[in-house]
């Protein structure tokens, strides 16, 4: 507060020569003080007399309480109302600026998660698993056709029907989870992938672990994604290189 007051008095030409010289020396060695000086200049530019008068009126009651509770007489206070107003305004702007900074930091973190998801996510091609699928072929092939054509709602309905008849059908579960991912229903996808991982099926399990980690990243739950990625690297899975690269990007 004292530094701000000195800066305002300097701009108003109220400092002695000795005080000016001392302040100039401080400005040379204190970048934050220079920033404060620019902030006060911005306050003066933004507020103007009209805004200043309006702002002053809102401070009268605050001023009254301060003097009353502090048992101070106005003549004992060396800072005038104009200076007081600018001090408060500068403080408010500084606080708001800090809030904006945290907002953009959070936004950047969110964008980073979304960027990593978009960068690493790739829909699994259907022919990768159809060759090994031991399922009721007619329904499964039809569901996979829907999946390949991007008709995810139809695919989801049919995959769910297949799983209801055969809860051990891990191929249908994997495609169902990816279909949910494609339609942005990440909570549903996570449940399917988690269930699939519990089946302890090595081939389908590692695919489920990879897509589950990506869902967590999309939802900015990085702490849940990292253990899955580390396991994929440690077991030298099909995704070992991608998982390793993603871990490096996550830091």
Considering only CA atoms, which of 188, 187, 225 is closest in space to residue 209? Answer: 225
Considering only CA atoms, which of 115, 206, 220 is closest in space to residue 193? Answer: 206
What is the DSSP code (8-state) at residue 72? -
Q: Are 90 and 44 in contact (CB under 8 A)?
A: no
Q: Does domain 121-250 have CATH number 2.140.10.10?
A: no
Percent of the chain whose predicted confidence (pLDDT) is above 90: 45
- For 9-50, the pLDDT digits (tens) are 777 788 888 888 888 888 888 877 787 777 777 666 655 544
What is the residue extent of each domain of the chain?
Answer: 2-106, 121-250
The pair of structure tokens assigned to 43 is: 């306050």
At residue 61, does pLDDT exceed 50? no
Q: What is the pLDDT of residue 224?
A: 97
Considering only CA atoms, which of 1, 89, 101 is closest in space to residue 39? Answer: 89
- For 115-138, the pLDDT digits (tens) are 999 999 999 988 755 444 444 468
Q: Which long-range contacts (CB under 8 A, 24 or more apart) does 131-138 make?
A: 132/171, 132/203, 133/171, 135/162, 135/166, 135/169, 135/171, 135/172, 136/162, 136/165, 136/166
Q: Are 218 and 117 in contact (CB under 8 A)?
A: yes
- Torsion sign, CA atoms 125, 127, 133, 135: positive
Q: What is the pLDDT of residue 58?
A: 46
Q: What is the pLDDT of residue 136?
A: 47
Q: Which residues, 6+ apart, have CB-to-CB distance to 205 below 8 Å?
A: 196, 197, 199
Q: Which residues, 6+ apart, have CB-to-CB distance to 128 below 8 Å?
A: none
For the chain, the C-alpha Rg in angstroms (whole number) is 32
- For 79-120, the pLDDT digits (tens) are 455 555 555 555 655 554 555 445 445 545 545 888 999 999
């Amino acid at each position: 507060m004292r530094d701000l007051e000195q800066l305002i008095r300097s701009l108003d030409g109220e400092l002695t020569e000795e005080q000016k010289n001392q302040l100039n020396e401080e400005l040379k060695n204190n970048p934050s003080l220079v920033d404060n000086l620019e902030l006060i200049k911005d306050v003066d530019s933004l507020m103007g007399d009209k805004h200043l008068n309006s702002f002053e009126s809102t401070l009268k009651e605050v001023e009254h309480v301060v003097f009353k509770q502090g048992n101070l007489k106005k003549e004992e206070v060396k800072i005038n109302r104009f200076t007081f107003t600018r001090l408060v305004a500068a403080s408010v702007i500084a606080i708001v600026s800090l809030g904006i900074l945290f907002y953009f930091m959070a936004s950047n973190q969110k964008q980073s998660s979304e960027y990593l998801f978009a960068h690493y996510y790739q829909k699994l091609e259907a022919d990768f698993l159809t060759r090994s699928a031991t399922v009721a072929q007619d329904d499964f092939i039809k569901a996979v056709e829907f999946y390949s054509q991007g008709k995810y709602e139809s695919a989801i309905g049919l995959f769910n029907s297949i799983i209801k008849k055969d809860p051990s059908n891990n191929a249908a579960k994997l495609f169902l989870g990816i279909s949910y991912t494609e339609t942005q229903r990440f909570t549903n996808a996570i449940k399917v992938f988690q269930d699939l991982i519990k089946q302890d099926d090595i081939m389908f399990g590692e695919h489920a672990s990879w897509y589950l980690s990506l869902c967590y990243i999309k939802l900015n739950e990085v702490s849940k994604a990292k253990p899955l990625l580390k396991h994929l690297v440690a077991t030298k899975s099909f995704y070992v290189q991608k998982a390793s690269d993603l871990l490096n990007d996550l830091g």
